[in-house]
Amino acid sequence: MHAMKPELWWQDDSQLAESPLWSAEAAAFFWVDISGRRLWRHDGSAAAARSWALPQQIGCIALREGGGLIAALQDGVYALDLDDGLGLRLLAPAAHGADMRFNDGRCDRQGRFWVGSLHLASGAERQAKGRLARLSAPGEAGPWQPALREDLLVANGLGFSPDGGTLYFSDSHASQARVWVCDYDTETGRAGAPRDFITALPVGRPDGAAVDAEGGYWICANDGAAVLRYTPAGRLDRRIALPVAKPTMCAFGGPAMDLLVIASMRPEEGTTTNPLDGALFALCPGVQGLSETPHPCKEIKETKP
């Protein structure tokens, strides 16, 4: 695919497709259907995609050293083995209760896993108690480090600059709909105080994101039918229209890291007049992405469920 405009890349019956992730080892993209409790894998060819059913809602995935993935399920972060069926191994229990779930997450440039969460209630009942935190690294106490934020409605938009020294995140709830940026210490994995990066999108609200090799921050405009690119200085310089209203997250991949895959969701009520809602789209936007750094699962003390 060499299209500069988005083309349909994959379509199934997903309700909430999220967290697309390129694996060079598998030569394929993985992604999740959060509400469908399913993990997907596809290489973009005419071959059928493969999927695995999961016992809980799955918020996001990341690569792990030695193959396989790590996944933020509702009650904790797990190592996923995909070679023979689906093997799950709990790495760290969630620091939240049954009324919460994980949402957006990814590894920093050193392989430390950051993940955000949200309260499961909808509408006015949703409480601002979503956390954004990372798993502990060797020498750090406990399974989790202190949260960067604990007052988010819908933690989202995680991304890291090419040099790893900048962390981006958003709150995609309609009442917030903004993106923050932090200075990030790559040696310690600690983030500085958040400051405003995008206070309002021109359309929609900020959802999942990706950072390209030039430092551009690509953010999906959920309810805005677009994916937007911002420069590191916070200036909007690209707007790509999409054939669906609710894109959720984008990711770079392919052998040359020049393919941008964009996931989408159906309206929350589950009804839609657009048959493309929930599908994945792809285009070559003319810039390359960055490979994700795998997480070294062996560095987390195993915890039994």
Q: Which residues are catalytic?
A: 207
Cα–Cα distance measured from residue 228 to residue 96, given in angstroms and rounded to the nearest whole number: 32
Q: Which are the contacts of 126, defined by CB distance < 8 A and separation ≥ 6?
A: 118, 119, 153, 173
Among 207, 114, 217, which residue's Cα sits nearest to residue 162?
217
Residues linked to residue 34 through DSSP beta bridges, in sequence order: none
Using CA atoms, how far residue 148 sits from 104, 105, 144, 249, 301, in Å, is 14, 13, 11, 22, 22
Q: Which are the contacts of 278, defined by CB distance < 8 A and separation ≥ 6?
A: 11, 12, 13, 14, 15, 16, 17, 264, 265, 266, 272
* Tokens (6 digits) for 150: 């604990």
**C-alpha of 263 from chain center:** 10
Q: Which are the contacts of 28, defined by CB distance < 8 A and separation ≥ 6?
A: 22, 41, 42, 43, 44
Cα–Cα distance measured from residue 198 to residue 85, given in angstroms and rounded to the nearest whole number: 42
Contact of 300 with 107, CB cutoff 8 Å = no
Q: Are strands 149-152 and 113-119 parallel, antiparallel or unpaired?
A: unpaired
